Amino acid sequence: MKRTWLFVPADDEAKVAKALASSADAVILDLEDGVGRAPGRKAGARTILTRVLERNDIDRTRCYVRLNALASHEIGLDIPVAVAGGATGVVLPKCEGPADVMRLAELLSEAEQRCNRGNPASIVAIATETARGVQLLPTFLHALPRLEALMWGAEDLCSDLGGFSNRGLDGSYLGPYATARDSCLVAARAAGALAIDAVYTAFRDIDGLRRESEMHRSLGFDAKAAIHPAQLDTIKQSFRPTPAQIDWALRLMEFFAEGDGARALDGAMIDEPHVRLARKILESR
């Protein structure tokens, strides 16, 4: 299970090396927002990315490339680098519905045919960065080719909505952003994809990261994105089942093996949905 997805700007070779040496389950080599806007920075990032992916001492199964948006002219330059370099997958920013996923899948297929790549790259779609993207989340109704995960994010959405903050004074997400988060989770489940939680931008606030990770794990998210290696251990710990959850799951499975149908355990009624939950807990240990 890939619980930690670490973003790193692809135009900084030292940071890329540090990210690849970290304990992240997946490293997202960022060609989009993480790269400066000065002329030549995108091209320089692609040069560094090509050099990194050519190395023999890296695990490409952990490597994902965040492309530029479908509407940008940069994406036509990004895709060949990611595909030829053997990155396991690509991350699509500002995704606006299943049509964008399908269009990217077509572009990837064309690039893979040109370089004779055998294994297809998967797609992680960041689906809440625009108001239109949030509106189209309910149209993720079934599995899509290559779609590995849906990720949500609140920073670009705040900008798109014209807001000044996406969190309240207590640190919790304000209404529109909580709605985007929940809708992304539901859409991921409808599409049979992983649900990846947004980054926690205050990377020095480990206690806040832990609280948010535990809460969003309880909602059903499978993993969380990170922006600093210091966040990884906290996220991994938070997204693992607790000893109490594992104990409950083991007892429930043993109890249910004695018979099916709704029954009482620890003073609460349990039935098939609880069995499915117990199985998921035990599988994710």
For 223, residues 6+ apart whose C-beta sits below 8 A from its C-beta are: 1, 2, 3, 4, 5, 25, 149, 194, 195, 196, 197, 235, 239
pLDDT tens digits in sequence order for the chain, 285 residues long:
899 999 999 999 999 999 999 999 999 999 999 997 777 899 999 999 999 999 989 999 999 999 999 999 999 999 999 999 999 999 999 999 999 999 999 999 999 999 998 899 999 999 999 999 999 999 999 999 999 999 999 999 999 999 999 999 999 999 999 999 999 999 999 999 999 999 999 999 999 999 999 999 999 999 999 999 999 999 999 998 888 888 888 888 887 776 666 667 776 777 778 888 888 888 877
Enter the pTM of the model: 0.90
The reported pLDDT for the residue numbered 259 is 63
Contact predicate 156/129, CB 8 Å: yes
The reported pLDDT for the residue numbered 261 is 63
The reported pLDDT for the residue numbered 260 is 63
For 23, residues 6+ apart whose C-beta sits below 8 A from its C-beta are: 4, 229, 232, 233, 236
Cα dist. 179→99, 131, 134, 170, 224 in Å? 22, 11, 9, 17, 17
The reported pLDDT for the residue numbered 257 is 74
The reported pLDDT for the residue numbered 262 is 64
CA 238/CA 257 separation, integer angstroms: 29
The reported pLDDT for the residue numbered 274 is 81
CA 65/CA 48 separation, integer angstroms: 12
